A and B are shown apart, each in its own frame.
Chain A
């Protein structure tokens, strides 16, 4: 038996990078994708090279465009999502909406073990996304707002546009070409996004699904060790997370805890009060003003009082009283108006009623002592107007308004966050196909 020749072992050896000369302009082209390429576009002149069946690169189309600087350079390396990536291809695309061009730059990121990703920079708003091919096909949802679902995540349609390739350089895993057109539909679930790209290929329609997430400009700049600061972001990108929604759950939860605490506390406070009747009088005539000296609370202490007005009979009629409480010790007065009314009728076959024959008015911070209670009554109406009224003054009542104020303060935090979050989303969606 003859001794065999050494094994080929081609694919056990370390894969090597190489540099070739552009077959059009002669400039050096560094090949860093280890053969995972369908197109190579010379960074210097824009000529397109393609691999033959043998794998050797051949000139497909000569060009003589100028090199244009992108926001990140070809072959820059950076770590994103814990993985090291190298930019092996740059593709500029743009879409035109209502006569306005929206350009963006796509950086094809490569890692020999992790495949490829797309780092996308939007020139118009300065926001960044990191995308990769979807491991599946999204489900098209039949609902009012067009949407898709993949792997338990729902996405809402944001916009659709025709994207055109305007500039390319480097290596690509697909047959990229300037002027290539594709219909792109973007769906969002910030910070995630899903895009469906349709283009016509040799085999009919070609479909590409991409899932992406928002990435901060500062993080991209740090990852690729770029000098200075990244281009400023403007407005709200389609995938920028809504920070007002970030602590939404815990905010509502803590709000719930506060409300429960408030409920217990106000209940306890109310229980410490023992309201008593300071004054009561029935059957007062409407014919003349009423005046009487009454005693409220304990001198030297303040109290809260509840004044009640009731009139009868009250049938499609009203009773009103101007009430004045004059402190006999210092002539300071508390005045208020109080009205009781009751109306009812039948309108379009439906019976209705409104108002009540008994109304209360609460006054807090009343100094204890002797008061002169003065009442100027009025009455009117289309039905039976009241003939007499009654009043009562209860003292040491529990002032619910303060506890309601506390509740308002508790609730205003999540409500404010909800409002700001809503405004944020409205600004985001103003840039979509669904702007108001």
Chain B
């Protein structure tokens, strides 16, 4: 499947092109801000999500790069809010047909791909049992919980693999390995179970993976500093 495949459909609200990508389920119309959900061959309008905040991210929709020699494209953004502000989860489509997330929190970046839930199901603690700093071994590799958060959707843009409903609360734990490994345990709306959705990957440097184009910033040399 070509990740850059687009279907010629229109936004039910304003009629602008609704460029769904790959397996994306929802799309935030670039023109009117409506969230459009694809259900089979039909498009459904679920209203407008709250506005994205400009939290200074240098990433833009349509940016491309390669990680571990697999090219990918940024096709959507989910912005989340927790007690200490907002961060972005950029939805990415890989050239190999897979999908993943580029997590973007205060200048710290990681790329993860969804993995089989069975790898961790029943083997990791519940949300509240993940003590920060206490390593959890997954597939023989120790991962240290570094952040636990209860987050809600702040806003979205572009394509997403699900319909983001603002206001719902989600429990997740970020873990990091001793050699740059990165893992997210997504407990969903309930913290009291031991079967989180699993995302695994590693920390990345945006310029090192060659993400391009990047956003422009007033007062800073265009195109970013020399590599």
Contacts and interface: CB of A to CB of B under 8 A. Distances in A.
B56 A151 contact: no
A5 B106 contact: no
B162 interface: no
A349 interface: no
Interface stretch (B19-27, B37-45, B92-100, B218-226): B218-226
A116 B32 contact: no
Contact of A2 (B15, B106, B108, B221): B15
Given A17-B219, A116-B107, A137-B176, A4 B203 contact: no
A4 B15 contact: yes
B164 to A, nearest CB: 16
Interface stretch (B1-9, B112-120, B144-152): B144-152
A380 B177 CA distance: 75
Contacts of A36: 55-57, 106-107
A227 interface: no
Contacts of A139: 142, 178
A389 to B, nearest CB: 72
Interface residues of B, number: 59
A261 interface: no
B122 interface: no
A347 interface: no
B31 A7 contact: yes
Contacts of A12: 60, 215
Given A14-B216, A135-B180, A113 B225 contact: yes
Nearest to B62: A12
B88 to A, nearest CB: 10
Contact of A204 (B132, B203, B217): B132
A261 to B, nearest CB: 44
Interface of A: 1-2, 4-17, 32-38, 51, 53-55, 82-84, 111-116, 133, 135-139, 149-152, 173-175, 198, 201-207, 209
Interface of B: 10, 14-16, 30-33, 51-58, 60-61, 81, 83-85, 106-108, 131-133, 135, 142-144, 146, 148-149, 154, 157, 175-182, 203, 206-207, 214-221, 224-226
